[in-house]
Amino acid sequence: MNNNKIEQQNTVATGNIGMVFKANKSLRFVGQFGTGFRNPNIDDVAKTFERDAFTIVLPINNVKPERIIQQELGVDILLKKKAWIELRAYNTQFQDAIATLPTQYLGQDSFTVNGRNLRILANTNIAEAQIQGANISFKYKINRFWSTKANFEVTKGRDLTNARPLSHIPPAFGSVYLNYNKPRYNILFYTLFNLEKPISEYGAATDNAIFAPPSGTPAWYTFNLKGRYNFTDRFRIQAAVENIMDLSYRYFASGFSASGINGIVSLNYTF
């Protein structure tokens, strides 16, 4: 912390290779293998700040660059030229992953700032970590005017060195859309949802467990409606009603609840 000079010089070779195999007009397989590299930025190595009322981040570690090896496999399926399904699964292996973790400074794990006792955190390298996930998306054209699409994704992350969850890993989430579209107007109904994330799956302090209920982040969903009407080629009105059920929910790792029911109206005129 007493250094007045920061210097980094790192060299690494990275690359990726992809494959697409088209079995027929309705079936396609895809794959990818790649390597990556992230050099610590100025915040990682030099920034001091209070994350919240209980912790402070200090630049006291010699942070090394993180490296990744990633594999991805997928399949795309076209059904009768109306439905399209995409499946993806991926695995990412980290070496020296950069994470904000509890640490010690001058033999202490906390110190007092303006009368408050703050726990010390620092950006640290994790020798080995892993992120795995899968995604499925679906599109279907019902008829000339109606269409629908849906998406669902799940991600898991693990600090393999310390046998605990990685931070910044969201709970499983998804969306479903139903759209009615004509040249003059459009109506879109959709729902967004998150599954629960138990407190046992929270990672380091950056997941803000102090703002979560004791059991973790609850599952939630919202119903939403949007519309557009074109009066002329130049003039149109757009409107939306979000969180129609006026449900109380909070995004993972957020210290604030999301908004309740709300409406939006906009007028657009092109000169």
pLDDT tens-digit series, residues 49-60: 887 778 888 887
At 270, give phi and psi (nearest 5°).
Answer: -100, 120
- pLDDT above 60: residue 1: no
Reported as a pLDDT band with limits 50, 70 and 90, residue 244 is: very high
- The pTM for the full model equals 0.85
d(CA 95, CA 72): 18
pLDDT tens-digit series, residues 174-192: 999 999 999 999 999 999 9
The CA angle 71-73-74, to the nearest 5 degrees, is 155
Reported as a pLDDT band with limits 50, 70 and 90, residue 84 is: very high
Q: Identify the three-state secondary structure at position 125.
A: strand
Residue 3, pLDDT score? 57
3-state secondary structure 31-60: EEEEEEEECCCHHHHHCCEECCCCEEECCC
Residue 39, pLDDT score? 87
d(CA 242, CA 29): 37
Query: What is the mean predicted confidence (pLDDT) over 61-75?
Result: 92
